[in-house]
Structure 1
Amino acid sequence: MEQFTSEWQAWHDDRLAALATPFGFLSITGLHWLQQGENTWEGAPGSFDLDGDTIRFRIGTGRSAGPTRAALEAEGAQDAVGGPDTVAPARGDADSHANGALRTTLGTDRSGTPWIRLAKDAALSWLVADHTAYEAINRDGRIGVRVRDSKSALLSNFVDIPAFPLKRSAVVPGVFVPYSEPRSRRIATALPGLEMDQQTLGTLTFEFGGATHTLTATGSLQTGLTVDFQDRTNGDTTPMWRTLSVGLPDPDGVVTLDFNRTVVYPFAFMPWATCPAPVRENILSVAVRAGEQSPTRTISEDGVSHPVGLIAMSDGFPLPEVLDWLEDSGTELFRHRLRRSTTVPGPMAASAFIVFGMKDIDGHADDASVAAVREFAGDALAVGTPVIGIGTSGAEIVFDAAREQMGSTGQHTSFDTSPMPVVVSADVAEDRMLRGCVTMCPEADMGIIDIEALAAEIGDDTDTRRRVWTDLIDRFTRLVITRG
């Protein structure tokens, strides 16, 4: 099992490294479909003029831009085989499966204006200006420019992708039966209104979750098969579909499907990806609880998200409306219900974490899970991620983690005297607007907030209690958002 785990971890590390490259998919900040004629937008280094299927770039006044390394390599390969009238391979992007050889032509005209002509479904990182690259793409005849910023907020805040616990049962054999000839299928994509042609190569049959399944395979018979699929985790713990690289079949058509290595497409992170959707028959009737889950950190037209991880230590919680108020405040909640063998999220997977739960309540997490969350809370505090503990169980776990971080020993503060204690890390407690309602505990460098006592000071009624909670939540939300 140790080798199995270490091999997966090495694969996972490579996956994260590939995503986190300066102009990788996490750097994408926009997509501009071009109209015939002149096209520009705020922040563009010039004008991208579309003439038929050719883009010409005219540099703006006072701006500088040049070809990317990929463009230089493509142009060099093109020149080596006969000049700009000869097609040369484009550097395609990983959110689109190759439909045959993707090829493009590019060059510079006599006036020094760079131009590029893309074949259908081709893509090439073409120009770079300062820390931003401009990728020319053709998707089903639509031509656009996708912007990749090496200093994007999503890339800067990226740490990890959550994944299901690793399991050997998610590794199953399958049999590939190729078609006599590849079949072209019309498919949807992650971009509404955009369709594309997909080459399908055959079928993969395997057993999973007590049933036999057959999926249509894409990819390449030279480099490896791929299956895009939907399953019953979609919309809950995973995006609307995921993809799995299967590799090449052996001479008998046997392949290995390791669903632990299922990955999410770039569309799970952003709205500007054009990832292919599965063919309609690639819907599994089971929940594939293996591989990558929905990322916690995403980006949209409104900017990067500010996720707050919510770690539930018990099923019951006396004030469920508090969680609703938190969700209404503008934060994006990711709930983690701790059960046996559940993986605790990474300490930087969210902008902040809330651990909540009540002691002596049905469905409380077992001792092993409590220990795992205590260790996690300590790690989060060590790297500066704000952590809050709510409830007799949640507060104690976070407080104990902080005490361990400081090396404190002996008897510590009891949280059983308050019906709903709240413990906050120092970065939250030291906020100027919260100082008046926080009692600092030097033994743990944590703050304690007694919500009920605060409400009683003002007026012990439901409306007052709600106002105290919402004021606290509003300030916490502002701290999370301004911290990024």
Structure 2
Amino acid sequence: MTYESDWQLWHIVREQDLSREQGWLSLTAFNWLTTTPAELPGLPGKWWAADGLAHVEATDLTLDGEPLDGSASASVAEAGSLGWLFYGDKLAELVLRGGRYAIRQRDPQAPTRVGFHGVPAYPVNPRWLVTGHFTPFTEPERVEVATARPDLRQHVTAVGTVHVALGESAYELVATSAGEGQLSLSFHDETNGLETAPWRTVTTGVVQGDRSVALDFNRTINLPYAFTDYGTCPAPIPGNRLALPVTAGEKVPR
């Protein structure tokens, strides 16, 4: 398999994942819960947060495949999510962001999903496949960042820096863990706001024994906020800015 055909396969799987029935393209609403029971647009019942839990009183909802007739409560970890209740084929997803509970709705009939025709991307260019060097922090560091929502700031856990040469310059990007020995790098570059979303992210290869790490910017992706108004995606850690146009990876969605 050639480098380009391998990328094409990856891109097809990426688009299939986005367009899943309850995937990121299905988001249709995001509502913070208050301490006072209140209605949420598009869902029956009253919803609120109290005593470290999210609560609902409603009929016509389904919990664990069974009709809910009365009330239910649930919790979720910070930055996590819970596919909590269904209203028909619409999912009421519970999230905790910045210490506040919210309900995010996923609907298979969302215009962003129904009208999805793929993610535009730059032509594949092997010059954007580079090698960096990872320097881990002695201890992971908790860093506050902006998010896709102006009313929300979140914390991410930085695990070290990746040093990489691009163009005529060397850069140092702060990384978070992507699991399984890989790193996640969210960054700004000079294509943002023109051909790409305000920021994008790339997942590295597995960190090697000599701490070298492969970065394939052709696999740079958009975070969910680029497709929908209801994402809560963390922005890059301050300083993660590349002073050149990264003409690789996904462009701004149509």
TM range (shorter): over 0.9
Return the offset for 1:57: 1.9
Return the offset for 1:220: 4.1
Structure 1 CA distance, aligned partners of 2:225 and 2:50?
29
* Structure 1 residue runs of 4 or more that deviate by more than 6 Å after TM superposition: none
| 2:210 match | 252
Amino acid in the other structure paired with 2:32: W
Amino acid in the other structure paired with 2:141: R
| 2:245 match | 287
Return the offset for 1:208: 1.2
Amino acid in the other structure paired with 2:187: F
Return the offset for 1:221: 5.5
Contact 1:36 1:52 in 2 (8 A): no
SS at match of 1:247: coil
Structure 2 CA distance, aligned partners of 1:264 and 1:122?
19
Structure 2 CA distance, aligned partners of 1:221 and 1:177?
16
Q: Deviations over 1:343-371 (max 9, x none)?
A: xxxxxxxxxxxxxxxxxxxxxxxxxxxxx
Percent identity over the alignment is: 33
Structure 1 CA distance, aligned partners of 2:20 and 2:181?
23
SS at match of 1:226: strand
Contact 2:58 2:70 in 1 (8 A): no
Which of 183, 192, 196 is residue 141 of structure 2 equivalent to?
183
RMSD: 1.8
| 2:120 match | 162
Which of 145, 148, 158 is residue 106 of structure 2 equivalent to?
148
Structure 2 CA distance, aligned partners of 1:183 and 1:262?
24
Contact 1:268 1:295 in 2 (8 A): yes
Contact 2:43 2:87 in 1 (8 A): no
Amino acid in the other structure paired with 1:183: E
SS at match of 1:39: coil
Amino acid in the other structure paired with 1:187: V
Task: Identify unmatched segments of 5+ residues in structure 1.
Answer: 73-107, 297-484
Return the offset for 1:183: 0.7
| 1:213 match | 171
| 2:78 match | 120
Which of 118, 123, 131 is residue 89 of structure 2 equivalent to?
131
So what's the TM-score if we normalise by structure 1? 0.50
Contact 1:221 1:248 in 2 (8 A): no
SS at match of 1:113: strand
SS at match of 1:264: coil
Correspondence list, 1:13-52, <5 A: 13-52=12-51
Structure 1 CA distance, aligned partners of 2:181 and 2:15?
21
Structure 1 CA distance, aligned partners of 2:143 and 2:91?
32
The structure showing larger relative contact order (alpha-carbon pairs under 8 Å, at least 6 residues apart) is: 2
Q: Which has the higher strand share?
A: 2
Which of 184, 197, 211 is residue 239 of structure 1 equivalent to?
197
Structure 2 CA distance, aligned partners of 1:278 and 1:224?
17
So what's the TM-score if we normalise by structure 2? 0.94
Rg comparison, structure with higher value: 1
Structure 1 CA distance, aligned partners of 2:41 and 2:154?
29
What is the number of residues matched between the two proteins? Answer: 253
CA 1:126–1:163 in 2, change beyond 3 Å: closer, same or farther? same
Q: Which has the higher helix share?
A: 1
